[in-house]
Amino acid sequence: MGPSLYSPIAENSINLFILLGLGSSVGFFAGLCGVGGGFLMTPLLTMIGIPPTIAAASDSNQIVASPASGTYAHFRLGGVDFKMGLFLFAGGMAGSTLGVRIVESLKAEGHIDFIIRILYVVLLGIVGTYMMMEGLACLRKKPGSMEPEQPLKRSSYDRFLQVLPWPVRFGKSGITLSPILPLLAGCLVGVVAAILGVGGGFIMLPTMCYVLRMPMRVVVGTNLFQELLVCVNITVLQAAENQTVDLTLALTLLAGSTIGAQFGAKLGHRLNADYLKIIFASVVLIIMVKIFLELVIAPDLMLSLKGEQ
């Protein structure tokens, strides 16, 4: 059975090894794929008896640990572009701050969240399916089989990039890019992250791959770095609105996720970039299914919760 840990706010006793296992598993995926893991942790906590509101609030605090540990691990392996991460964070900070304000103003609109989640399911479905198909296609084809198509697509986009002003050299990523793109990308992802209560890494990662044209091995570590900074900003802003944080629960999950992220980062640097895309696409599609199930199941759960009060 193992030792139990009493959660004072949730008023529940949970097996310590289960909590550490959940934290380390989510941290492992964070280090491997470059996402915070909040989309996995919250539903897993509810499955072991933690009330949804307490699970979400406690998870929002411990979720900072996975990007922090993962960033450090990728930094040691040379996989973090700090200059790009700071530009993304600058946009993400403005976007997350705006997103929190939007959440406050939209709380009175009951159907707004439903519409946003519908659009979110569509977006994740498109991103996940595209990355999965591309990753599988790259593994099936020979190295030179994609050469005829690539120059045409890239040259058209490169001409667009050359029109943008103030080009900056990002040495770690090996690209020269206008800071306008990472600033806008960070802002949009920050808004989405604050509204939906997640880190937003699963949107930022494909954006960094396909819009910013960063190499995959640098993308994962850089995404964790900017997500860490954005999550800290969101956590501080949300702290004034939500006080249902169980520190005992959050610190236990933090310990597990910190260890797991180290192993995930090391494995990520050993895997082929196409395998990383497939793994990430699988995680994105899992998120899509999870949110879709919330749309279908949540109304009944909400009624049952109200009936218990």
Q: What is the pLDDT of residues 189-202, one digit of tens each?
A: 778 767 665 556 66
User: 153 to each of 146, 160, 251, 302, how far by Cα in Å?
Assistant: 11, 11, 47, 47
pTM of the predicted structure, to 2 decimals: 0.63
**Of 266 and 42, more confident:** 266
Closest by alpha carbon to 242, among 96, 108, 52, 64? 52
Q: Residue 286, Cα to own-chain centre: how many angstroms?
A: 13
Segment 25-31 shows an average pLDDT of 75
Confidence of residue 61 (pLDDT cuts 50, 70, 90): low
Which residue in this structure is represented by tokens 């540990």? 69
Q: What is the mean pLDDT of residues 248-264?
A: 75
Question: Which segments of 141-246 does DSSP mark as H helices, in order?
Answer: 150-163, 180-196, 201-210, 216-239
pLDDT of residue 62: 59
Count Cβ atoms below 10 Å from residue 299 Cβ, excluding itself: 11
Q: Which residues pair with 5 in a beta bridge?
A: 14
Measure Cα distances from 203 to 120, 123, 146 in Å. 10, 9, 25
pLDDT score, position 109: 63
SS3 33: helix
